[in-house]
Chains A and B, each alone.
Chain A
Amino acid sequence: MTENYNKKARTANVNGDTGKNDDNGILEVQGNNDDTNDSIIKSTEISFAGMGVDIAGVKFKNPVTVASGTFGSGAEYGDFVDLSALGAVTTKGVANIPWAGNQTPRIAETYGGMMNAIGLQNPGIDVFCERDIPFLNNYDTNIIVNVCGKTEADYVEVVERLADEKVELLEINVSCPNVKEGGIAFGPDPKALESITKAVKAKAKQPIIMKLSPNVTDITVMAKAAEAGGADAISLINTLTGMKIDINRRSFSVANKTGGVSGPAIKPIAVRMVYQVANAVKLPIIGMGGIMNYEDAIEFMMAGATVVSVGTANFHNPFVTLDILEGIKKFMDEKGIKDINEIIGCVK
């Protein structure tokens, strides 16, 4: 039956040194592959030699992660891709307590992208620590925990709760456009952003990534505020606030009226902002916004991103992260790039 599949199960040949793989360096394909299932988890055979990068002292075996909120905590996509092939898994925003999120419809397709107003539905930090962190620690990948909150105290509570957990980095979402208090108050205000960065940094044991909103006039002002507050890295962009109207029903396409636009339609804006921030601050950048393929990923890196996150593209192709990794490798081989760090910010 295997010949019918166009995506074959393969094992990852990871030459990583993070120690979660077994002796011969071959990772077991993980997931629900018991005998009765025809589980087809795709991995990659490429070697990640020359693809290692570093964010705030945390080593990534390759520069590809997933964008928060598009990949859950990895469990669902783990049925499709070997999570150990990723440089990191970035989890859905988690708050101090469970959040129910917005009314439906929560999403709408837009030309070359989508609009979402999920409203940060999440199980809260307790369930996350009990269930999602141990699950992800079965894989040989970094864990980036995306944190959301309504007040500064909420963020600090989550960060403190994570202090002794086995996760590599914290991404502070101060830019969700879909929740009235989902950090959006901090998003466009440099003083508030600097203050929350300081507050979180004071309690955090892991390096802090501040995730910036693109819904501002000058992104560099915000990046500088995060840097002044002591951030270790910056990620951008979150979604752009948009609106879609269903003309037949004379109503908004998402219940929240407005939603965050993501996908390839926003990519040029994201690349421009990554470039501007790369030239305004010294912090490493995790770049995202519409990455669909390896060319897009390399474009973000050349603009100044050290790591790239793939979001909406996962909905179109659950294997996209692996396709991007293979594409980057091929690009490096073809262009004679020995170390991926060469291209980070190479376009001035």
Chain B
Amino acid sequence: MSATKITAKVVRQDQIATDIYSLILEAGAVAVNAKAGQFVSLYSKDGSNLLPRPISLCEINKDKGTIRLVYRVVGKGTKEFSKLREGDKIDVMGPLGNGFNQKSKRAILIGGGIGIPPMLELAKELKCEKSIVLGFRDETFLLNDMNRIEGEVYIASEDGKTGVKGTVLDAIREYDVKGDIIYACGPTPMLKAIREYAFENYMEAQLSLEEKMACGIGACLACVCKSTEVDEHSHVNNKRICKDGPVFDAGEVEL
């Protein structure tokens, strides 16, 4: 599962919602070695933006050697990436991180906002019984892809236009979604609430975390989170999100 850095070719790019883009890259070895929950580093061509941008794998096609990334334009790097067109080149390093530890247990997949994309690949890889719970602020995206997956899809939105008005946990309670393990990615307040929910209900939960990164491979110690266990690298209860994560057991980290 070792990572590499390649120059990938853009197969296609589509805008799928306001400020949200879907990018498909021909990525050879990066695709072949990848699994759900891992991410890649994308590099800007503008020398003033030196650091890589971590983006989760939304879909992996090992046969074609392609990966799909879905991202929101929030700053300089993502703005540059949104201009990429078919045939353009971009430097990519990956696959990075550990990915989800897939168990054959009745699963609840929870994605919030721009944390939704990695849940698509996970939903495709998980062959067991599963429910998918998605939280949006207002505008929805990736719903057609999610609906193609076997398993119920439940939706919450802050404005209440789609699904339950409120959070993903409101949707879980409203629809009485049941499962034995939660896999989740999304904003930290959402992950905190899910962590509590999992503890209260004696459920296993895996959470995908985010932090600013420089190396993306575990060398610089920029991206740590507080861990309950002693970490393997520095023995100081600081796990590296890029290398030991981004996916952690809920009991393994403090949020």
Contact A116 B214 (CB under 8 A): yes
A114/B50 in contact, CB under 8 A: yes
CB distance from A160 to the nearest CB of B (A): 21
Q: Contact check, B243 vs A38: say whether CB atoms are below 8 A apart.
A: no
The answer, yes or no, to whether B225 is at the interface (CB within 8 Å) is yes
Beta-carbon nearest neighbor of B43 in chain A:
A316
Report the stretch among A98-106, A151-159, A338-346 that lies at the interface: A98-106
A121 touches B221 (CB 8 A): yes
The residues of B that contact A123 with a CB separation of less than 8 Å are 233-236
The answer to whether A112 and B48 have CB atoms under 8 Å apart is yes
Report whether over half of chain A's contact residues are helix, strand or loop; otherwise say mixed.
loop
Interface centre among A70, A79, A104, by most chain B C-beta atoms within 10 angstroms, is A104
Given A1-B32, A72-B218, answer yes or no on A107-B236 (Cβ-Cβ < 8 Å).
no
Tell whether, in the assembled complex, residue B224 and residue A121 are in contact, meaning their CB atoms are under 8 Å apart: yes
Q: Which residues of B170-215 are within 8 A (CB) of A?
A: 211-215
Selected interface stretch from B3-11, B108-116, B123-131: B3-11
Please state if A5 and B221 are interface contacts (CB–CB under 8 Å). no
Give a binary string over A296-337; 1 marks a CB under 8 Å from any B CB, 0 the rest: 000000000000000011111111000000000000000000
- Which residues from A are CB-within-8-Å of B101? none
> A105 with B212: in contact, given A72-B220, A318-B217 (CB under 8 Å)?
yes
Interfacial residues of chain A within 28-48, with CB under 8 A of chain B in the complex? 32, 37-40
Which residue, A76, A113, A264, has most C-beta atoms of chain B within 10 A? A76
* Given A5-B29, A38-B32, A112-B48; A70-B219 close (CB under 8 Å): yes
A246-266 interface bits toward B, Cβ cutoff 8 Å, 1 = contact, 0 = none: 000000000000000001100
Interface string of A84-107 (1 = CB under 8 A from B): 000000001000001111001111
- Chain A residue at smallest Cβ distance from B65: A4
Cα of A263 to Cα of B235 in the assembled complex, Å = 29
Find residues 6-53 in chain A having any chain B CB closer than 8 Å to their own CB. 6-7, 32, 37-40
Tell me whether B28 and A114 are in contact (CB under 8 A): no
**Structural contact, A100 and B237, CB atoms closer than 8 A:** yes
- A7 touching B4 in the complex, CB below 8 Å, given contacts A98-B235, A105-B211, A123-B236: yes
Contact, CB under 8 Å: A315 / B215? yes
Nearest to B89 among chain A residues (CB) is A6
Q: Are B219 and A72 in contact (CB under 8 A)?
A: yes
B1 at the interface (CB under 8 A from A): yes
Residue of A nearest to B47 (CB): A112
Task: Compute how far the CA of A7 lies from the CA of B8 in the bound complex, rounded to whole angstroms.
Answer: 12
**B250 contacts chain A at the CB level, 8 A cutoff:** no
Query: Number of contacting residues on A, CB 8 A?
Result: 52
**Tally of contact residues, B, Cβ under 8 A:** 42
Q: A1-B28, A38-B2, A76-B217 are in contact. Are A107 and B235 (CB under 8 A)?
A: no
Q: Chain B 92-114, CB within 8 Å of chain A: the 1/0 string?
A: 01000000000000000000000
B53 CB → nearest A CB, Å: 10
Cβ contact within 8 Å between A99 and B48:
no
1/0 per position for B16-42, CB-CB distance to A under 8 A? Answer: 000000000000110011000000000
A78 to chain B, nearest CB (A): 10
A7→B6 contact, CB < 8 A = yes
| Nearest-neighbor residue (CB-CB) of B234 within chain A | A123
Q: Does B142 contact A (CB under 8 A)?
A: no
Do A104 and B5 form a contact, CB below 8 Å, given A76-B218, A312-B50, A316-B50? no
**A104-B225, A113-B50, A123-B236 as given contacts; A79 in contact with B3, CB under 8 Å:** yes
Q: What are 29 sample pairs from A and B whose C-beta atoms fall under 8 A apart?
A: A1-B28, A4-B6, A5-B4, A6-B7, A7-B4, A38-B32, A40-B2, A69-B220, A70-B220, A72-B220, A75-B219, A76-B243, A80-B3, A98-B234, A100-B237, A105-B211, A106-B212, A107-B51, A107-B214, A108-B212, A114-B51, A116-B220, A121-B234, A123-B236, A127-B235, A312-B50, A316-B43, A317-B43, A319-B5
Report which A residues bind B (CB closer than 8 A): 1, 4-7, 32, 37-40, 69-72, 75-77, 79-80, 92, 98-101, 104-109, 111-114, 116, 118, 121-124, 127, 263-264, 292, 312-319
Binding site for A on B (CB under 8 A): 1-7, 28-29, 32-33, 43, 47-52, 65, 93, 211-225, 233-238, 243
